[in-house]
Chains A and B, each alone.
Chain A
Amino acid sequence: AQTVTQSQPEMSVQEAETVTLSCTYDTSESDYYLFWYKQPPSRQMILVIRQEAYKQQNATENRFSVNFQKAAKSFSLKISDSQLGDAAMYFCAYRSTGANSKLTFGKGITLSVRP
């Protein structure tokens, strides 16, 4: 079974600075998807960024980018120019490519942004 580990329960960043959130996963599959979701206080889960394992290029969405290291099974999220609205819980998640695959989540990390 796949597992996703987010070892840091909390992080803090100064507004306008850069922060990196760590995630590792364990799988025996060669093709899969990885995601970062954001959950603000409203509790609505919002997709931040996704990566397909067969693509070597790291995904980027505006201020959000990932460092995908397939051999190391590492998938970190970098937030540049942090804003107050980035304060939320962030979840790393894994999904295999099978038709009946589920999404497996890490335990999440709470990010606070200092003004």
Chain B
Amino acid sequence: DVKVTQSSRYLVKRTGEKVFLECVQDMDHENMFWYRQDPGLGLRLIYFSYDVKMKEKGDIPEGYSVSREKKERFSLILESASTNQTSMYLCASSLYPTSGNTIYFGEGSWLTVV
């Protein structure tokens, strides 16, 4: 089974802090994604990476950055956390769509910014 692991399930951070959310997948997937989930808004794409050191902005990249130095790891960075970034963050991974189109998700990271 594919496993996508988000190391921090619940975090509480202060406004202005730098926050790292880590995600690791164990299936040699090229594509990795970070989504944000808010009530009534569904899942919105923040950033995705289609290979090591490659990244592309999603629909709501403002206030976020990402890092992908190794194929299995994709990090989401909040440079200066704000209260409107309180949310649940979901990491996901997949092969290239031409090889396998299903996207697999981690269990989510609940972030509260106070």
Partners in one complex: yes
B-binding residues in A (CB < 8 A): 9, 33, 35, 37, 42-45, 47, 50, 52, 91, 95-108
Check if A102 sits within 8 Å of B43, measured CB to CB. Answer: no
A-binding residues in B (CB < 8 A): 31, 33, 35, 40-45, 48, 50, 56, 58, 88, 90, 92, 96-98, 101-105, 107-108
CA distance A35 to B43 in the complex (A): 14
CA distance A106 to B42 in the complex (A): 6
In the complex, which residues of chain B have a beta carbon less than 8 angstroms from the beta carbon of A96?
Answer: 97
Q: Nearest Cβ distance between residue A107 and chain B, in whole angstroms?
A: 4
In the complex, which residues of chain A have a beta carbon less than 8 angstroms from the beta carbon of B50?
Answer: 99-100
A43-B45 contact given A96-B97, A99-B50, A100-B56, CB 8 Å threshold: no
A97-B97 contact given A45-B90, A102-B33, CB 8 Å threshold: yes
In the complex, which residues of chain A have a beta carbon less than 8 angstroms from the beta carbon of B103?
Answer: 35, 95, 103
CA distance A42 to B105 in the complex (A): 13
Q: Is the interface of B mostly helix, strand, loop or mixed?
A: strand
CA distance A45 to B92 in the complex (A): 10
In the complex, which residues of chain B have a beta carbon less than 8 angstroms from the beta carbon of A33?
Answer: 97, 101
Check if B98 sits within 8 Å of A99, measured CB to CB. Answer: yes
In the complex, which residues of chain B have a beta carbon less than 8 angstroms from the beta carbon of A47?
Answer: 102, 104
In the complex, which residues of chain B have a beta carbon less than 8 angstroms from the beta carbon of A42?
Answer: 107
Check if A99 sits within 8 Å of B42, measured CB to CB. Answer: no
In the complex, which residues of chain B have a beta carbon less than 8 angstroms from the beta carbon of A98?
Answer: 97
A-B contact pairs, 29 of them (CB 8 A): A35-B102, A35-B103, A42-B107, A43-B107, A43-B108, A44-B105, A44-B107, A44-B108, A45-B105, A47-B104, A91-B42, A95-B97, A95-B103, A96-B97, A97-B97, A99-B50, A99-B97, A100-B31, A100-B50, A102-B45, A103-B33, A103-B103, A104-B45, A105-B42, A105-B43, A105-B44, A107-B40, A107-B42, A108-B42
